[in-house]
Amino acid sequence: MHERTAGTVELRIPCRAEWVAVARLAVAAVAHRLNFSIEDIEDIKLAVAEACTNCILHATGSQQIEITCETHEDGLTVHVRDFGSGAAVENIRSAVHAEPQVGGLGVFLIRSLMDSVNYDVDPKRGTSLVMTKKVYD
Amino acid sequence: MHSHSVDEERWDRQKTRDSFARFAVASQRKAASELPDLEFDQLRNELVVAHLNLVRYLAIKFANRGEALEDLIQVGTMGLLKAIDRFDLERGVEFTTYATPTIVGEIKRYFRDKGWAVKVPRRLQELNLSVNRAIEKLAIKLGRSPTIPELAEHLHATEEEILEAQELGQAYNLLSLDTEVSGDGERKSQTLADYIGTTDAGLTLLEDKANLERAFEVLSGRERVILYLRFYENVSQTEIAKRLNVSQMHVSRLQQKALEKLKNVLQE
């Protein structure tokens, strides 16, 4: 059993599909240290992959995706941020509210896998998808 | 779904809303009359067909978890049916928004019913063991350390699975001492800790094995290969010489040197 302590793990990957597996594995390793069940770890991996895919499909001009894992006593919070133009904000909004295109479906899928999904809007740093999953043991 | 234009999307959504409006009327009529209702069945079928793409899209996301895609599509379609029957246009959400968690929930329940939470750690654990065996095997065959793609091909697994099996599989090998190994409700269930007696010859052997493994680290790759073939696989020096393309005398010298190195380390 690993002891659950607060900590942050940051990862930046190129904004391209072939790097998504690296994010999946890194986040899986972090989740594993929090004693998530194998099912939860698979769900978290899928959610992170979907969020990264969203960045790749919608973030025009972004070179990198930043994935930040925050571990806390009762679970894991993952921020997935791209550095695309401001249009990214609009893309996410429309994906959530009206247009159930593939990216939008990705967000619905993430919602059904994680405990909470939000957007963290920072005018300087862009928009990130913030998702949290609680660990039960 | 990628090929859909925005206009087509809009039209699809309008069509879906219309279908659901007619479906709601048919549902009420059916509930009131308790008779078979042809239009109800037809509308329900149409709605299912119209959303099979959504089910497929979601099922594919779970296809890497070791169950057949067709089965996932089938249970996902059950979820779709539930969502169609429960959907309420008045709530003002898109049907896809509403249906996604229901379909995902049904797919996930299928994995749970299949005992997936037990099977997957077991598979990772087994893969972890076979990765270790494959590394040795391929190292001998290739004369160098194998790459991840080589291991993946050898074990018919994906590269990600290999990496994950190495990272996570190990942890699942370390059973907790408090893990219950038996328990039928009447007797007090036993844990692994209960099985550990006093000084056990097996444990000493385990310690020897661990020491030996550490000692092996001082050997070169070729020396390890020779000792492995000679003492684990019981291959003759002549045969080893042939495989490594050197003389039998050379193998003999290398083996002698390797054994001496090991002896020195273990005596420290």
Domain that holds residue A57: 7-134
pLDDT at position A96 over 70: no
Please give the tally of structural domains in chain A. 1
Contact yes or no for A44/A78 (Cβ under 8 A): yes
Least confident of B20-34, B40-54, B166-180: B166-180
User: Which chain A residue has the Cα nearest residue B112?
Assistant: A39
- A24 in a structural domain: yes
> Rounded distance, CA B21 to CA B162, Å?
50
Q: What is the mean pLDDT of residues A91-120?
A: 70
CB-CB under 8 Å, A113 with B163 = no
Residues contacting residue A114 through CB under 8 Å, at least 6 positions apart: A43, A44, A47, A131, A132, A133
pLDDT band at residue B263, thresholds of 50, 70 and 90? confident
pLDDT at position B165 over 50: yes
pLDDT at position B234 over 60: yes
Q: What is the pLDDT of residues B124-150, one digit of tens each?
A: 778 888 888 898 899 999 999 889 999
- A57 in a structural domain: yes
- A2 in a structural domain: no
CB-CB under 8 Å, B94 with A100 = yes
> Rounded distance, CA A25 to CA B69, Å?
23
What pLDDT is attached to residue A97? 46
**Which of A37, A102, A109 lies closest to B104 in CB terms?**
A109
CB-CB under 8 Å, A25 with B164 = yes
- A47 in a structural domain: yes
Pairing of strands A7-14, A64-72: antiparallel
Least confident of A115-129, B42-56, B123-137: A115-129
> Rounded distance, CA B232 to CA B136, Å?
12
Dihedral Cα B229, B235, B240, B242, nearest 10 deg: -140
pLDDT at position B264 over 50: yes
- A75 in a structural domain: yes
pLDDT at position A85 over 60: no
Q: What is the mean pLDDT of residues B35-47?
A: 86
Percentage of chain B surpassing pLDDT 70? Answer: 79
User: Which among A108, A114, A117, A133 is the top mutation candidate for probing chain B, defined by the most B β-carbons within 10 Å of its own β-carbon?
Assistant: A108
CB-CB under 8 Å, A39 with B108 = yes
Q: What is the mean pLDDT of residues B88-117?
A: 89
pLDDT at position A130 over 60: yes
- A1 in a structural domain: no
Sequence letter at residue B16: T
For chain A, say whether B105 makes contact (Cβ under 8 Å): yes
- How close A40 gets to chain B, by Cα (Å)? 10
Q: What is the pLDDT of residues B2-23, one digit of tens each?
A: 445 666 667 677 888 888 988 9
pLDDT greater at residue A125 or residue B178: A125
pLDDT band at residue A99, thresholds of 50, 70 and 90? very low
| Residue A112, domain CATH | 3.30.565.10
Interface of A with B (CB under 8 A): 1, 21, 24-25, 28-29, 32, 37-39, 41-42, 46, 50, 98-102, 104-105, 108-109, 111-113
- How close A124 gets to chain B, by Cα (Å)? 30
- A115 in a structural domain: yes
- A54 in a structural domain: yes
**Which of B100, B124, B171 lies closest to A109 in CB terms?**
B100
User: Which among B160, B173, B174, B179 is the top mutation candidate for probing chain A, defined by the most A β-carbons within 10 Å of its own β-carbon?
Assistant: B160
